[in-house]
Structure 1
Amino acid sequence: MNGQPETEQRIREAAFRALVKHGYADLSIKDIGDELGQNPSLIYHYFDSKDELLLSMLDVFVDIFLGQQAEEPITDAETELRRFVGQILHPKPMQVEAVMSAPPSDIETAIARVFVELWAHATWDDDFRNKTTAVEAGLRDAIVRIIRAGVEREQFRSVDPEPTADHLLFLLKQGIHTQTTTNREDAVDRVEALVDEIIDDLSLES
């Protein structure tokens, strides 16, 4: 089918925007079709179900948060770790536009809502659980790689990169979840402060 990759991507983007508006429980293929500006039947030419579409949409998270990070050399581990943390907590429009042609205007809130919706659904659905596990593994591996590079270059103290990455990723996830699901509007700011303290403690130059 001509234009299949482009059409699939447009459908994923429409699903992303529709999920932000409606939430998982109330989201329908019709809502996604409305967001796409097409008859919902078009979606079934590419995806068998809402869940199959949303599972494929999780790959957008990987592109947004990881991109080419795993292939780029790390010369300044502290700067790269702070950049990566900021990229997760405060995704920039330009960062998102690299993989989505029409993201929501408030992309930071949108990504946080989608994160919470899909990770919550993984509580009940093994396919989603497997996919979210893979996404988190990719984020963890990226943090491990940065910390290991910092230790090897003697920019960071000699720490075990894996539990340190687990600690940082837990804080990042908790900050996003808390800010999205409670009235703690300072949750992400507080997490940033805690992460800054951890990175300062890691750095041999601080």
Structure 2
Amino acid sequence: MGRHPETEQRIREAAFRALVEHGYADLSIKDIGDELGQNPSLIYHYFDSKDDLLLSMLDVFVEIFLDQRTEKPITDPETELREFVGQILHPKPAQVEQVMFAPPSDIETAVSRIFVELWAHATWDPDFRRKTTLVEDRLRETVTRILRAGIELEQFRPVDPELTADHILFLLKQGIHTGTTTNRDAAVDRVQTIVDGIITDISRE
């Protein structure tokens, strides 16, 4: 039986939806097969295990949030940085649908839950830790690249781009985690306000 990229992508999308519904600990290949509407044995033709599939799914997030920006020239760094922060904190269905045919209806909740579930699992699993480290490195590189462009274009003051990127990413991660794991429903919006203030502070205007 040959491998089909479309089927492989549909399996990832089914895993995305099933993980949001069940959480990592209770998620099974059968749950993913039920979400897919196929015999679970099909999944094993493409992925060795649940973890192999979920690790692959993290590549989808990189494509959604980062790959679309890699080659894009930066002409307005301040606007781009604000948009990137909003994209991470409040992902929109249209944005996710560019790489997923059938994402969950509540994209923001889904992405936040998956972030918390997979990053928590990385506490115990070195394979997941390697992958989450790579994802965070890509996030840091993206923010640093925007900051450097802003400094070169004299839109931002000459701050340390790496340190500032670390600061912004720490706040984004904390906001998502707090908003997902507590009843502080305003946590994400609060973090966006704080990061907007940082961007205003480093802006020359």
Q: TM-score, structure 1 length as denominator? A: 0.98
> Counterpart of 2:67 in 1: which secondary structure?
coil
**Distance in structure 1 (CA, Å) of the matches to 2:76 and 2:21:** 39
Question: SS at the partner of 1:24?
Answer: coil
CA deviation profile, 1:99-136 (whole Å, cap 9, x unmatched)? 10000000000000000000000000000000000000
Task: Describe the SS at the equivalent of 2:17.
Answer: helix
Amino acid at match of 1:43: I
- Contact 2:156/2:204, CA 8 A, preserved across alignment: yes
8 Å contact from structure 2 (residues 3, 46) kept in 1: no
Unpaired runs of at least 5, structure 1: none
Structure 1: distance between partners of 2:145 and 2:157: 15
Q: Secondary structure at the match of 1:124?
A: coil
Query: How many residue pairs get matched?
Result: 205
Aligned to 2:183: 183
The residue identity in structure 2 corresponding to 1:36 is L
> How many angstroms apart in 2 are the aligned matches of 1:200 and 1:3?
49
Match of residue 126 from structure 2: 126
| CA–CA distance in structure 1, aligned partners of residues 153 and 48 of structure 2 | 49
CA deviation string 1:80-116 (max 9, x = no partner):
0001001100111110000100000000000000000
Q: CA deviation at 1:60?
A: 1.0
Give the superposed CA RMSD: 0.8
User: How do residues 33-182 of structure 1 correspond to structure 2 at under 5 angstroms?
Assistant: 33-182=33-182
> Cα offset for 1:183?
0.5
Aligned-partner SS, 2:24: helix
Matches of 2:48 and 2:25 in 1, distance apart? 18
Deviations 1:165-186 (A, max 9, x none): 0000000000000000001001
Q: Secondary structure at the match of 1:11?
A: helix
CA distance in 2, matches of 1:91, 1:73: 22
Identity of aligned residues (%): 79
Q: Identify which range, 193-202 or 60-69, moves more after superposition.
A: 60-69
Instruction: Give runs of ≥4 in structure 1 deviating > 3 Å.
Output: none
